[in-house]
Amino acid sequence: MTGELTNWIHLLTRAVEVTGTAIIAVGAFGALGLFLFRLLTHAGPRDTLVASFRSGLGRSILLGLEFLVAADIINTVAIEPTLASLAVLAGIVLIRTFLSFSLEVEIDGRWPWQKGRAHRTDAPSH
């Protein structure tokens, strides 16, 4: 791979990483700001406000993690496709996937694959 192409891929990887980090930061401050606004204006029960805050924060972290995983994949596959770098990538993806599942359960109160069941139980049975 040429040096110039490698530099462009590094630049792309950094841009995706910065985007993921910015999503997490902006989402966290946005969720906090909305929580404080609702808290000060008495826009609902405190439990509901806290749940809404946690949900917004968790969703921004989930989206940011997706960008960070994408950056790791781009960097590993496009620049350093060795067995060692692929093993490191697999570990990173495994850890981030575990975090994503944990956040999803925390936000929704159920496993991601259980979403379809909720809709099916609402349907009338014949």
pLDDT digits (tens, 9 = 90+) for 87-122: 888 888 888 888 888 888 888 777 767 776 554 444
| d(C-alpha 38, C-alpha 28), whole Å | 15
| Residue-wise pLDDT tens digits, 31-50 | 999 999 998 988 778 888 88
Helix (H) or strand (E) holding 114: none
Q: How far is CA 56 from the centre of its chain?
A: 11
What is the model's pTM?
A: 0.75
| Residue-wise pLDDT tens digits, 6-34 | 888 889 999 999 999 999 999 999 999 99
Q: What is the pLDDT of residue 119?
A: 47
Type of residue at 60: S
The domains of the chain are located at 3-122
Type of residue at 38: R
